[in-house]
Amino acid sequence: MTAGATGVGSLPGGDAREAAKTATGSFEDFPYLPELPARGPGADMIGRSLGLLVDLYAHVEPSGWRISDRPGRDTRRARSWLGEDLDALEEFTQGYTGRLKVQAVGPWTLAAALELHGGEAVLQDAGACRDLAASLAEGMRGHLADVQKRVPGAEIVLQYDEPSLTAVLRGRVRSASGYRTYRAVDRQVVESALRDLFSVHDGEVVVHSCAPDVPFALLRRAGAAAVSFDFSLLTEREDDAIGEAVEGGMKLFAGVVPGTDGPLSDPGGSVMGVRKLWRRLGLAPGTLAESVVVTPSCGLAGASPAYARAVQAHCVRAARSLADNPE
């Protein structure tokens, strides 16, 4: 069995057709919908996801994204760019059947990044957090239906980007002034909101975070089928949670290849840490290929176009090495 490989989400540049060609050409068995934040506000991961919301709008302030009373230029721009990206993806996936990954920012990272009218984060208002999650859920239903219509043979894998999740759980998200932090959100509230959102999609749901201390156990309880993370940030204190997750059927999207320009090791060396993790956990080497998907460590927006292409090809070769030589 061949181990999978895919991208995280973002690519450098601003050409939607070139990005779609790269994402589908590099990962013939597991392409993804690229994001191009270099185009500006609305193409960034926060703005792109805010453009998906239903009956909730936002605009750009010097401090970041802020709730609006009505859709404006920034909302229209976000939706227009997403439309361009979907048109390009559709063009390069004609007749495709198999897994296809799309990404959106999760509700807790959105709540930490989006400001209320007064300038404080949505995160400080429990009711506003619930409204945001509900709006995102409704928006995702429409988005997933659109992707499925454009690529009828796709088995859609839905990835929620939650880099701020650990900070939300630990009360480490800073206020607008920077002089204080918002109160930690109760873990059960976080888990419940994620569970409700995951249920919108009847296929595989992945949660991505390239921050340290990803809450594997919480995400597993909430119903995530997989966790995508920067493998270099993993510590042995997380072994038990990861072991339980894998034994419970959860997949690991292991970010083992650096996302910024630099020398690339041989493909086998890139996944050596994954093999060592498997040995530490006492898991059967034969389960590696079915449990691990190889990815870059995070998005590739900060990479050069040439390096981004090289990294994605490298991930495919590393996945093949992992499947061929699991021990």
**pLDDT band for position 161 (50/70/90)?**
very high
Angle between helices 126-150 and 187-198 (to 10 degrees): 20
Confidence of residue 300 (pLDDT cuts 50, 70, 90): very high
How far apart are alpha carbons 279 and 269 in whole angstroms? 16
Q: Walk me through the domains of the chain, giving residue ranges and CATH numbers.
A: 4-35+94-324 (3.20.20.210)
Neighbours of 193 (CB within 10 A): 23
Q: Return the H-helix or E-strand segment holding 313.
A: helix 305-324
Q: Which residues make beta-bridge pairs with 32?
A: 101
Q: Residue 102's beta-bridge partner residues?
A: 158
Average pLDDT (145-150) is: 98
Measured CA to CA, the distance from residue 50 to residue 82 in angstroms comes to 11
pTM equals 0.95
Percentage, residues of the chain above pLDDT 70: 99
Q: Which of 39-48, 111-120, 174-183 has the lowest mean pLDDT?
A: 174-183
pLDDT for 311 beyond 60: yes
**Each residue's pLDDT tens digit, 68-92:** 999 899 999 999 999 999 999 999 9
Q: How many CB atoms lie within 10 A of CB 87?
A: 13
Q: Given this model, what pLDDT does residue 1 score?
A: 42
Is it the case that residue 2 has pLDDT exceeding 60?
Answer: no
- Give pLDDT, residue 81: 97
Residue 327 is predicted with a pLDDT of 73
